[in-house]
Amino acid sequence: MGADAPGTARIVLEGVSAAQSPGPAPNRRFLSVVKELRASRSYSFVLLLILIGFAFTATAPDEPWSRGVLLLIQCGTLITALWTSRSGPFELRLTALVLTVGLAVLQILTNSKALAAAVGTFSGLLVIAIGVVIVRGIISEGTVSQRSVVGAICIYFLLGMLFLFAYGVVAVLDSGPLFAQGTDGTPALRLYFSFVTLATVGYGDYTTASNLGHMLSASKR
């Protein structure tokens, strides 16, 4: 029994040490939750970022810096969608990030119609890319689940955001006002108009003036 004393003492000391351990640190628990969420391939993070972009558009002023920040939000949403779906090589994410940061910085520092149109177009392309990633994930699942329902909600909001950027590009490039009421509207107003027409509510308080604007509005019905 004396020979077993050192081993017993070691086990006792390890047990006391484990009992005194404060447990996993909060950051470890957070990382564990993030890993579990990615393993489930849930689009909850993606939907959260989409709603953040929606809320930012509805409240931010119509300034060059706000367009740059919104572009960064769209890029972050795309990277999160790729990360959630476990698709897209690291090089693709890095390229998207570098291009977005470069355009966002230029937009924040420079206020020109050409750059505003380029930023709006690139933002729309990012929205399309996000939608493609989500749709591919939903189709690959092959069944209706909580994940596919959240993905469908993401697609709905992405459609509204896509037409928001499309209206913004038309407002910048067209010689006349976007709306028949004689104004191009703010991003918040164009967001409102985009979702009102998407939902086929049609309050009639704003209508597009140009043929291109009419085409965009009609394509959502």
Burial of 154 (C-beta count, 10 Å sphere; 0-12/13-18/19+): buried
Summarised one tens digit per residue, pLDDT across range 82-119 is 888 877 777 878 888 899 999 999 999 988 889 999 99
When comparing pLDDT for 148 and 56, which is higher? 56
Distance (Å, rounded) from C-alpha 72 to C-alpha 77?
9
Per-domain boundaries in the chain: 1-40, 42-218
pLDDT band at 34 (very low <50, low <70, confident <90, very high): low
Q: 42-88: per-residue pLDDT in tens?
A: 788 999 999 999 999 999 999 999 999 999 999 999 999 988 887 77
Cα gap 143→162, rounded to integer Å: 27
pLDDT > 60? residue 147: yes
In degrees and rounded to multiples of 5, residue 110 shows phi and psi of -130, 140
Give yes or no for a contact between 124 and 166, defined as CB atoms under 8 angstroms apart. Answer: yes
What is residue 174's DSSP assignment?
S
Using a 10 angstrom Cβ sphere, with 0-12 exposed, 13-18 middle and 19 or more buried, the burial of residue 39 is: exposed
CB within 8 A of 116, min separation 6: which ones? 64, 67, 107, 168, 172
Burial class (CB in 10 A: 0-12, 13-18, 19+), 182: exposed
Q: Length of the chain in residues, anyone?
A: 221
Nearest CA-CA partner of 170 in 131, 121, 219: 121
Phi, psi of 86 (to 5 degrees): 55, 45
State pTM to two decimals. 0.78
Closest by alpha carbon to 46, among 139, 144, 155?
155
Which band of pLDDT confidence, cut at 50, 70 and 90, is reported for residue 131?
A: very high
Decide if 67 contacts 119 (C-beta within 8 A): yes
